[in-house]
């Protein structure tokens, strides 16, 4: 899916606005600038402020093509050595702290050494929903499942509770939490979504998920709503096989409501491995579906505002809804071509092979470099490393 030039221009303008700090530009007595070719020329002070396109181009110029592609990948790590190797060798943009990861990375601040190996701020992610999906409970304490939260706390109480946990996550070095789960579900507690859902009432989900997003934002930790366009009514568990949802028109008044209501609150979005009749091509799950990405980006197909934040995929290497169809190299390529900004998988295995294939996809025109650039800029905004102009 090739992004129209207007979309890329709009993106760079957003990055420029969001990252200009206090609004100060270059020094007023600055009298020289550097052209894109790298030659210095003298100009009048009033012409030293670059336009959005020049600003974005200057930021992107620091990366090789391979490094830009690496910014669009998040990989699970086993510990400090594994993470540092992935960052040093390929400058991967993000790492994921899972249940299998040596938590001394966080507890002993070893992740700081990993961050120091990255040329741009490294995204350090985890799954900290509470309940049974809680990767850091041994470090920041136990939190109840979402369903229990909605039954025992008010949204304001949950905000304060989440704010405290967010501050603890940030202190450990975590920058992005793959939460909240905004699926709307009445499944039994131990089902794939089950008690990870705040409620089978979409309005309740909006209240509590919104409180969580605000709290994490206030703590300085990014959030990722999941699993677009809604796993709560799915036919099964995407970890173990293909999952079908009801048709798109049946998701409108239930599963899609939290995304519709919260899409402008500053959270990124994770797209699930979900086959959605009326939306996705048969045998192509939403995580690698151009139609699903377009629905989220444009918003018009479910009466939502356009979304220009970061789109993550769900795990591409450990869930049979995707691995039964594609190997990791093809899955990552398919996801980025479809329009995802960041491909997630839970190991550093095959990182170099994935990047080899992505480089070829760009060189062949299958993955437009303009689309890669737009995603790199979105990632930069999320990580706080966007250009200051």
Do 328 and 35 meet the contact criterion of CB atoms below 8 Å apart?
no
Question: Do β-strands 222-228 and 243-244 pair in parallel, antiparallel, or remain unpaired?
Answer: unpaired
Which pLDDT value is given to residue 237? 82
Do 204 and 180 meet the contact criterion of CB atoms below 8 Å apart?
no
Which pLDDT value is given to residue 52? 64
Q: Which of 127, 181, 195, 314 is catalytic?
A: 314
Known catalytic residue at 191: no
Give the pLDDT of the chain (389 residues) as one tens digit per residue: 434 444 333 334 333 333 433 333 333 333 333 333 333 333 333 344 556 668 889 899 999 999 999 999 999 999 999 999 999 999 999 999 999 999 999 999 999 999 999 999 999 999 999 999 999 999 999 999 999 999 999 999 999 999 999 999 999 999 999 999 999 999 999 999 999 999 999 999 999 999 999 999 999 999 999 999 999 998 878 888 889 999 999 999 999 999 999 999 999 999 999 999 999 999 999 999 999 999 999 999 999 999 999 999 999 998 888 999 999 999 999 999 999 999 999 999 999 999 999 999 999 999 999 999 999 999 999 999 887 65
**Domain annotation for the chain: domains and CATH numbers:** 5-17+54-383 (3.20.20.300)
Q: Which of 54, 164, 201, 239 is catalytic?
A: 239
Known catalytic residue at 190: no
Distance CA 93, CA 120 (A): 8
Do 211 and 223 meet the contact criterion of CB atoms below 8 Å apart?
no
Which pLDDT value is given to residue 50? 54
Do 236 and 243 meet the contact criterion of CB atoms below 8 Å apart?
yes
């Amino acid at each position: 899916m090739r992004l129209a030039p207007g979309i890329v221009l709009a993106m760079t303008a957003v990055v420029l606005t969001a990252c200009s700090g206090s609004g100060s530009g270059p020094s007023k007595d600055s009298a020289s600038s550097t052209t894109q070719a790298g030659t210095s020329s003298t100009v009048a002070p009033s012409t030293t402020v670059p336009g959005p396109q020049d600003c974005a181009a200057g930021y992107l110029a620091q990366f090789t093509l391979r490094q830009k592609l690496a910014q669009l990948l998040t990989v699970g790590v086993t510990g400090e050595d594994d993470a540092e190797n992935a960052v040093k060798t390929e400058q991967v943009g993000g790492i994921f702290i899972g249940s299998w990861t040596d938590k001394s990375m966080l507890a002993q601040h070893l992740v700081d050494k990993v961050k120091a190996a990255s040329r741009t701020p490294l995204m350090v992610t985890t799954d900290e929903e509470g309940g049974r999906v809680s990767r850091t409970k041994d470090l920041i304490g136990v939190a109840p499942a979402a369903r229990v939260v909605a039954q025992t706390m008010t949204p304001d109480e949950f905000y304060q509770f989440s704010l405290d946990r967010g501050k603890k996550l940030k202190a450990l070095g975590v920058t992005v939490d793959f939460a909240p789960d905004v699926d709307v579900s009445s499944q039994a507690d131990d089902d794939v979504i089950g008690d990870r859902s705040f409620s089978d009432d979409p309005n309740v989900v909006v209240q509590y998920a919104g409180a969580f997003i605000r709290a994490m934002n206030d703590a300085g930790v990014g959030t990722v709503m999941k699993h677009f366009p809604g796993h709560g009514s799915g036919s099964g568990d995407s970890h173990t096989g293909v999952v079908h949802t009801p048709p798109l028109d049946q998701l409108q008044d239930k599963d899609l409501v939290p995304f519709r209501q919260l899409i402008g609150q500053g959270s990124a979005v994770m797209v699930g491995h979900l086959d959605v009749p009326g939306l996705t091509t048969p045998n192509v799950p939403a995580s690698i579906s151009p139609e699903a990405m377009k629905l989220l980006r444009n918003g018009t197909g479910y009466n939502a505002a356009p979304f220009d934040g970061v789109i993550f995929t769900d795990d591409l290497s450990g869930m049979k809804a995707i691995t039964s169809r594609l190997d990791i190299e093809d899955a990552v390529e398919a996801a980025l071509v479809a329009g995802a900004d960041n491909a997630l998988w839970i190991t550093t295995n095959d990182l170099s092979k994935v990047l080899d294939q992505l480089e070829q996809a760009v060189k062949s025109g299958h993955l437009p470099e303009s689309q890669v650039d737009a995603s790199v800029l979105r990632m930069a905004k999320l990580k706080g490393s966007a250009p200051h102009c």
